[in-house]
Chains A and B, each alone.
Chain A
Amino acid sequence: MSIASVKTPSSLREAQIQSLEKLLNLNQDVNELESSPQHASNFPIWKVLIFDKAGSETISSVLRISDLRKHGVTVHMNITSFRQPIADVPAIYFVQPTQENIELIIEDLSKGLYESAYVCFSSTISRALLEQFAELASKTNTSHMIHQVYDQYLNYVVLESDFFSLQLPKIFHTFHNPSSDEALINSRVQDIVNGLFSVIVTLGTIPIIRCPQGSAAEMVAQKLNQRLKDHLMNTKDAFVSVNPKPRPILILLDRTVDLIPMINHSWTYQALIHDTLNMQLNRITVESVDDGKMTKRFYDLDGNDFFWESNASKPFPKVAENIDEELTRYKNDASEITRKSGVSSLEEVNVDAFADSTYLKSAVSLLPELTARKQILDMHMNIATALLKAIQERHLDDFFQLEDNITGLNRSAILACINNKEQGTPEDKLRFFIIWYLSVDSVPASDLQAYEEALVNNGCTLEALNFVKRVREITKMTMLASSTTRPATGQTGDNLFRGFSSLSTRFTDRFKEAGIGGLENIISGVRNLIPFRKDGTITSIVQSLMDPGSSPASKQTESYLLLDPKSARAITVNNDPRAMNKRQTFSEAIVCVLGGGNYLEYGNLADWAREQNPKKRIIYGSTDILSPSEFMEEMASLS
């Protein structure tokens, strides 16, 4: 395993893209190929990419079709689909190491679909399976067609610059279902270890592992520690031993540590999109009804989207303002070009019409940039419109406002919210109630019954609540010890409930100009809420582990296990004073929550890391990224 690269990537996404680009260039160093065309000419340029579902998820979340083409991939197909032969080109297989996949590869080669095969397994192929693969290749006399076999360690998906998902669904269900047998739990733990190992390999440094004792997280931590130790022993090279980077801390947590962020009604742009629109692997699907016909529109988000990068974690009203500002900036830039060129609109700009090369030059260099900017802004305007509709339909601003001050609510306020027929879906009401239920110290039995009755009367099913009742005690223990609330810097309570009025006039004008009308009514009903930043339980835990002593949660995290894969000691005894330094501060952390994560938690952690002086870096991930609805379903299935 060699981690050395010319340019050190600044984020997990960049690191993954670098690894993927290497894969697409037949495992050759991309920088070397680019700098030396003579060297590059030894390799075929055009190739076919064959992937399985997991491989396609990994690639599609960070690379576009044009990126694949830039690296010479002409066609990409699913390994299970019916494929036609393509002459003279090699095929890159980016698949999971499974029996089915190796059989399919051998079948392709026997049929002579492609000239040769470069097999890249997304995680480590076991020795037994590799033997089987070799045997099959020998039997069918196709081994000469296989040019490379690689373990790529890329079996995870990166959704934001430092946000990953291991794409392992139903982990929360498996870990908390009493009927899950040990074998199933062990196999899921192994899957998690494989995924986390890959993330660590991509990052290129061996972390120090911390986790609470006696939990599923501990099982994962122990196995991961062993895996990293074995790897360090077997491969004397690279990885980290020579890497001068400071070591990060890997914090493994169970989802039950804090359930609230999973079902909270949040107010940030990306969390709202994830909650209200269909967002899967950075693709947003917006359904709209045009002339009585249901149409679906797809929008892809990526790292090149300047607006998304700077606004994803901002509160929605602020994002609306920023769209407005960006549109004004675009209009100014466009009018500048049109003024210089003497045409009335950007569409009329014709490069041939320019006699003067300086105008020509500026127009040629600015036009593509402006067009791309307009496309991005159009996309965000459409998304914002869909969000506004959803906010008004479900009164999400009301829910957000109530949840912002959840502990201060009395019985009548809660019942009023539940019984308000016009406010939210039954699921919204149940989410609100569960958050309240988890936030208060005790609920009298008679009150609880009244709340449950009200919920049932309003169309809610109580399965998820029944599960929460079961885990409440565990969750409350960790939550109470660590949760803190503090106002974000520079924000006062005055603007918390400032009306949308001043904003809405400008905002709607822009939308009208852009051809999106009918928003006045929608906006008038939505408040311009600017939330206090709350440090959730997980942020507090991370803070106390990265900066011991700085957080009230420090006492609680003191008992967390500490495992160092580089240490010769098998497992550190918790109270051993000679053990590793638990007071060490870290500037970089990998936080992985087992059982589901979401954008809200990522946003909270990222905000906290940004506010630190010096800045800290947090890479956040989970076994799966779940929207509040999906998580409610998973909890309900455990009832």
Chain B
Amino acid sequence: MTSRTNEFFGLTKNGDIDAANIPLKRISYTDPFLAEGYRIHETIVNLLVFLKKIRGAYLKDRTFSNVQRLSKPLMECSLEELSKLELDEVQRDEIEHEVSSAISSCIHQIAKLQEIVKEQQSQIPKKSGWLQGLRDPSKLSKKETLVAHHSSVLWYLQSELSDVSSVLYHLQDLRLKRGQEKRNIASDFLTKNPTDENSAVEIPESELQTFFTQQQLQELEQENDVLLQEFEHTMERLRDTGKSLADITRLQSEISAQLSIQSSAAEKLYDDALNVMDSLSGGNQQLIKAKSRSSRTARLLFCIFTVMGLLLLSLDRIV
């Protein structure tokens, strides 16, 4: 392709327009729907950028955090800053929670826009009934165009949202998998250890007193409790992660369901519009036919009346 823009502006009367400096994007919008659409879009883009930037830190195998060292909130940090970041498990959970609640709020906002489109759609009169002929076709078409336009905007937002949600899902999935692998390695190690060390001999409970003092036993019990608690805590977190994964998948399926509904609705609208165009052109052809037919009839009638008139005249003369 070749740009002819500068050549074009050179030929216009106000040839001093600088093609490179034309503001491409508006700052304010007269259509509130579009303004809201752009706002949601920006939120989604920010989320996507954030997820891309935090990916490294999120998947790093660390258990201590240096979040407090950051100068700005997480979302506003640069890639360099976030690449040095280290997170613990709780903070990872927090990030997940934050992003998924942002996604939920976007879904909520999109749903509101959807309501608006539905309302606009309900205002479009059905294409049947004898009153149809009396309606102003240009007005009808304006509403339809607007609904199609807004539906596409919604489709775009939902598709973007679905992308962000799948990015989050993949991150979580990866984290879960890595966690699982780590646990597998640890458990392998633990189960292998006793067999490797043949010296480990099980001591019957009755003889414990002879091997350990009371204090040592108490300490061991406490340690055991702590270990058990830790294990339970890990299990709980595992369940939570599973649950949030399920949540995300549900969100995703919801979004994709919405997407398919939306796209089928928009495609239906487009087909309707095409049908209208077809029937319009059919109608035009009919009109042209009707016109030619009526002109033919008029000519025929004219001829008949002329002949009859002449006949009458001649009869009048004869009589």
Which A residues form the contact surface with B (CB < 8 A)?
1-2, 19, 22-23, 26-27, 37-38, 40-46, 48, 65-66, 69-70, 72-75, 81-89, 115, 120, 124-125, 130-131, 133-135, 137-138, 143-144, 146-153, 201, 235, 351-352, 354, 357, 360-361, 364, 368
Contact = CB atoms under 8 A, between A and B. Distances in A.
Given A134-B8, A351-B253, A69 B3 contact: no
Contacts of A235: 2
Interface string B82-118: 0000000000000000000000000000000000000
Contacts of B148: 74-75
Contact of A41 (B11, B42, B141): B42
A505 B274 CA distance: 42
A27 B1 contact: yes
Contacts of A124: 2
B34 A46 contact: yes
Nearest to A48: B149
B34 A88 contact: yes
Interface stretch (B18-26, B207-215, B292-300): B18-26
Nearest to B150: A74
Contacts of A86: 145-146, 149
B24 A44 contact: yes
17 contacts: A23-B1, A26-B24, A38-B49, A43-B24, A43-B25, A45-B38, A46-B156, A48-B149, A65-B263, A72-B156, A73-B152, A74-B152, A89-B149, A138-B13, A149-B3, A149-B8, A364-B253
A25 to B, nearest CB: 12
B71 to A, nearest CB: 20
A357 B8 contact: no
B250 interface: yes
Contacts of B42: 41
A201 B152 CA distance: 32
B31 interface: yes
Q: List the 7 shortest-distance A-B pairs measured between CB atoms, nearest first.
A: A134-B11, A74-B152, A138-B13, A143-B12, A84-B142, A149-B8, A84-B145
A45 B41 contact: yes
Contacts of B17: 143-144
B14 A46 contact: no
Interface stretch (B54-62, B119-127, B241-249, B309-317): B241-249
Given A44-B26, A69-B155, A84-B145, A149 B4 contact: yes
B223 interface: no
A151 B1 contact: yes
A86 B263 CA distance: 20
Given A37-B49, A84-B138, A115-B26, A146 B8 contact: yes
B252 A74 contact: no
B277 to A, nearest CB: 7
Nearest to A202: B1
B161 interface: no
Given A37-B49, A88-B30, A75 B145 contact: yes
B159 interface: yes
B181 interface: no
A22 B31 CA distance: 27
B8 A151 contact: no
A394 to B, nearest CB: 30
Consensus secondary structure, chain A interface: mixed
Given A41-B25, A41-B45, 10 more contacts: A1-B1, A1-B2, A43-B24, A65-B266, A70-B159, A75-B148, A133-B8, A134-B12, A135-B12, A368-B256
A87 B12 contact: no
Contact of B152 (A75, A115, A153): A75
A81 B274 CA distance: 11
Contact of A151 (B2, B22, B150, B256): B2
Given A149-B8, A151-B1, A364-B252, A82 B141 contact: yes
Interface in B231-288: 242, 245-246, 249-250, 252-253, 256, 263, 266-267, 270, 277
A54 B292 CA distance: 32
Contacts of A137: 8, 12
A42 B41 CA distance: 13
Among A43, A45, A147, chain B packs the most CB atoms within 10 A around the CB of: A45
Given A46-B153, A130-B11, A138-B13, A65 B45 contact: no
Contact of A150 (B2, B13, B14, B145): B2
Contact of A69 (B29, B156, B245, B277): B156
Nearest to A90: B24
B29 A88 contact: yes
A70 B263 CA distance: 12
A357 B177 CA distance: 12
Nearest to A83: B145
Nearest to A351: B253
Nearest to B24: A43
B302 interface: no
B175 to A, nearest CB: 13
Interface string B172-208: 0100000000000000000000000000000000000
A18 B256 CA distance: 26
B80 interface: no
Nearest to A120: B1
A144 B14 CA distance: 9
Interface string B24-49: 11100111001001100110010011
Given A147-B22, A364-B249, A125 B4 contact: yes
Contact of A27 (B3, B41, B252): B3
Given A41-B42, A144-B17, A361 B1 contact: no
Contacts of B149: 46, 48, 74-75, 86, 89
B132 interface: no
Given A37-B48, A46-B156, A138-B12, A148 B34 contact: no
Contacts of A19: 1
Nearest to B277: A81
A147 B156 CA distance: 24
B26 A84 contact: no
Nearest to B149: A74
A45 B42 CA distance: 11
Contact of A130 (B8, B34, B38): B8
A89 B45 contact: no
B5 interface: yes
Contacts of A360: 246, 249
B29 A150 contact: no
A572 B29 CA distance: 61
Nearest to A132: B11
Contacts of A368: 256
A296 to B, nearest CB: 12
Given A75-B145, A87-B31, A351-B249, A82 B1 contact: no
Contacts of B48: 37
A26 to B, nearest CB: 7
B78 to A, nearest CB: 12
B18 to A, nearest CB: 11
Contacts of B246: 354, 357, 360
A322 to B, nearest CB: 29
Nearest to B46: A37
A41 B31 CA distance: 19
A347 to B, nearest CB: 15
B102 to A, nearest CB: 16
Contact of A87 (B3, B25, B30, B138): B30
Contacts of B152: 46, 69, 73-75
B284 to A, nearest CB: 12
Contacts of B24: 26, 42-44, 147
B11 A131 contact: yes
B9 interface: yes
Contacts of B249: 351, 357, 360-361, 364
A180 B229 CA distance: 94
A568 B3 CA distance: 27
Among A41, A43, A73, A235, chain B packs the most CB atoms within 10 A around the CB of: A41
